[in-house]
Structure 1
Amino acid sequence: MIQATQLRPGMVVKFNNELHSVFSMTHRTPGNLRGFVQAKMRNLRSGSMIEHRFSSEDRIEKAVLEEHEMEYLYDDGEFYYFMNTESFEQIHLTKDFLGDCVEYLIPQLKVTVVFYEGKPISVEPPQTVDMKVIETEPGIKGATVSNVQKPAKLETGLTVAVPPFVNIGDVIRVNTSEGTYQERVTTA
């Protein structure tokens, strides 16, 4: 258990019997009143944001999380299969559980799976993923400095805006936190 004044952004706590990630917190001491902590938190199960005012003396249960590096193997249409890179144990997760992470899953991709009390609660892809362009408009020779972008469909079905010099078959690096083109890795 920790005091409310020890809350920090990114920390995961158990509040109202559910896991919440602290998004922001502010410690306030108005005039001659007792201090309090105003915390904004995201429910890890539903994704909803809540704000709660804690007294400075309130104690909150800090969640003990385990992170495991896992390798994405394949999907069978219903489940996505992952293997622990140390113990070789396999788990399967649903598309709903994975959310937007599905758009970045290519075979042999290493992801971080976060567990709470032995159950997976989230999957975090790496910061960037290299993916092959399978569909886009033809490239324009010499178009390396313009600010114009065109849509490109990648091997997972994700569509991102890319510069005009990117062609079908090129491998590009995509930022997973923003879902944006970062750079061209190799050409077709």
Structure 2
Amino acid sequence: MISSNDFRPGVSIEWNGGVWRVVEFLHVKPGKGSAFVRTKLKNVQTGSVVEQTFRAGETMPQANLEKNTMQHTYKEGEDYVFMDMDSYEESRLSVTQIGDRVKYLKEGMEANVIRWGEQVLEVELPNSVVLEVVQTDPGVKGDTATGGTKPAIVETGAQVMVPLFISVGERIRIDTRTDSYMGRE
């Protein structure tokens, strides 16, 4: 059990039959009446966000989430096969279970698979990945880092905006949280 006074961003609770993660919170102590906690909660399964108010000190069950480090070994049909790095057991995850981060998933990459009971809630990729550019407009002499950007497609099929001087075959670092270019490798 966790008290509403202990809410912090990232804390997961079981509420309304699902797992919710605290995105924002604010402790409010009005001059008249009892204190309360105003929160913004995100449903981990569906991605929906709601604002909810709890009484200060109200307790609720904390979601018992299990995080395993797994390695993406190969893709079979529509499923992605992951191997548990501790027990060497294989698990098959669909695109819907992995979410939109599938566009940066590369064979051999390690990821954290978060489960609630037997249900996979999300797959956390590293904050940044290094991928090779396979398609982009050619760089022209005189293109500088302070200029504009152009779209580039990387080896996993994801499209990222890169500076004008990046060319096909270069390896670039991409921030998976913001889908942005970080630099060359």
TM-score by length of 1: 0.93
**C-alpha displacement at 1:142, in angstroms?**
4.5
Deviations 1:86-127 (A, max 9, x none): 111111111112121110011101111112224321100000
What is the aligned-residue RMSD (CA, Å)?
Answer: 1.3
Distance 2:53 2:15 in 1: 12
Percentage of identical aligned residues: 35
Distance 1:146 1:62 in 2: 47
**C-alpha displacement at 1:68, in angstroms?**
1.1
1:78 and 2:61 aligned = no
Determine the structure 2 residue equivalent to 1:165. 165
Distance 2:118 2:88 in 1: 16
**3-state DSSP of counterpart to 1:14:** strand
**3-state DSSP of counterpart to 2:98:** helix
Distance 1:170 1:142 in 2: 18
TM-score by length of 2: 0.95
Unaligned runs of 5+ in 1: none
Determine the structure 1 residue equivalent to 2:138. 138
Spell out structure 1 runs of 4+ moving beyond 3 A: none
* One-letter amino acid matched to 1:153: I
**3-state DSSP of counterpart to 2:103:** helix
C-alpha contact (below 8 Å) 2:97/2:120 kept by paired residues:
no
* One-letter amino acid matched to 1:176: T
Distance 2:2 2:146 in 1: 53
Distance 1:46 1:67 in 2: 19
Determine the structure 2 residue equivalent to 1:57. 57
Return closer, same or farther for 1:146/1:34 CA change in 2, 3 Å cut-off: closer
Distance 2:163 2:2 in 1: 49
Unaligned runs of 5+ in 2: none
Deviations 1:28-83 (A, max 9, x none): 11112011111110011111011111111321111121211111112123111111
Distance 2:176 2:137 in 1: 23
Distance 2:157 2:41 in 1: 32
